[in-house]
Amino acid sequence: MNSDESIVRLVRHPLKIRRLGVKRVAAPTPRVRRITLAGPELEGLVTLAPEDHVKVFFPAPGARLPVLPVVTPEGRIAPPAEGGRPVARDYTLRRHDAAAGELDIDFFLHGGAGDAGGGESGIAAAWAARAQPGDVVGIGGPRGSHVMAEVFDWYLLVGDETALPAIARRLEEFAPPTRALAVVVVADEAERQALRAPAASGVTWVVCPPDAAGTAGRAAALTEAVRGLPFPDGRGFAWVAGEVTEARAVARHLLGERGFERSRMEVSGHWKRGVSNHDHHTPVGEV
């Protein structure tokens, strides 16, 4: 579900495949690995919106270097001439520092810090859990940025751990005195992150273990937290992302109970429980 084109403007970027190296590895929380990538090929990367994402190309199990695709003259991605199958997953850009030549990507380990490969994240989590400085990956994109006009009185940002990089970056980039309300569901108290936000903003954390509650339980907990949130006066815009069922439940609540119009919402399913490598471009379904 997308907002009106006058509210969200798509800015296209030339597609380029870049080979980058791991510069740093940090763990903001037990289930998150923040990988800082760097390298001369990072020069020229453009990211204009917090939701910008890239395809990350990983080495196959047992390999040191990733197989990278090529970009055709028509701007499409194609397998390399020397053969091999690229292994890729989509990830949101957490931070881009052009002056320092650094790019941060947060990897959420769905199974926890000790899970090197299971769950929805699969090969990406396996790589992130073991990543060290000097490791090599490739990235493709961003193909474009959905630039949201800051024309509303306030903004609502809702999501799970996979949406947190975009939520955090959005809060950091809002110009004062923008007012924003964020609601984030996490697995436990240790997954709460320190977020920088405008003075008039607030963050509500919902602690709900995914394994104990299941998708329906987390969807209900997240929706209930939004239901109990007093909305400011004026026109608001809602950005909702995360697991498909959870995002759909929140969108239905906003439309059916809080009077939101579809043109004032953007809803995205980053992943779907039980589905490996879910296509986040797939609509979350009728709401």
Please, which pLDDT band fits residue 113 given cuts at 50, 70 and 90?
Answer: very low
pLDDT for residue 270: 78
Q: Break the chain into its structural domains and give their ranges.
A: 8-144, 150-271
pLDDT at 267 over 80: yes
Please, which pLDDT band fits residue 278 given cuts at 50, 70 and 90?
Answer: low
pLDDT for residue 279: 56
pLDDT at 100 over 70: yes
Place of tokens 């396996």: 126
pLDDT for residue 63: 93
pLDDT tens-digit readout, 200-242 = 789 999 999 876 556 688 999 999 999 999 999 999 999 999 9
pLDDT at 273 over 80: no
> Packing angle between helix 244-256 and helix 210-227, nearest 10 degrees?
20
pLDDT tens-digit readout, 170-193 = 999 998 888 999 999 999 999 999
pLDDT for residue 210: 74
How far, in Å, CA of 40 to CA of 58, rounded? 19
The single-letter code of the amino acid at 271 is W
Cβ atoms of 45 and 100 within 8 Å: the answer is no
Please, which pLDDT band fits residue 83 given cuts at 50, 70 and 90?
Answer: confident
CA distances to 90, 96, 162 from 121, rounded to whole Å, are 10, 23, 10
CATH 3.40.50.300 fits 150-271, yes or no: no
Does this model's pTM top 0.95? My answer is no
Please, which pLDDT band fits residue 197 given cuts at 50, 70 and 90?
Answer: confident
pLDDT for residue 150: 86
Size (the chain), residues: 287
Q: Which one, of 88, 102, 104, 96, lies nearest residue 145 by Cα?
A: 96
pLDDT tens-digit readout, 29-62 = 999 999 999 999 999 999 999 999 999 999 998 8
pLDDT at 16 over 80: yes
- Report the phi/psi class of residue 62: left, alpha or beta, with left for phi > 0 and alpha for psi in -120 to 50: left
What is the average per-residue pLDDT within 78-99?
Answer: 93
pLDDT tens-digit readout, 116-158 = 333 335 899 999 999 999 999 999 999 999 998 889 999 999 9
pLDDT for residue 283: 58
Strand pairing partners for 12? 144
pLDDT at 287 over 50: no
pLDDT for residue 176: 83
The single-letter code of the amino acid at 226 is V
User: How big is the chain by its Cα radius of gyration, in Å?
Assistant: 19
Say how many C-beta atoms besides its own lie within 10 A of residue 30's C-beta: 14
- State the CATH class of domain 8-144: mainly beta
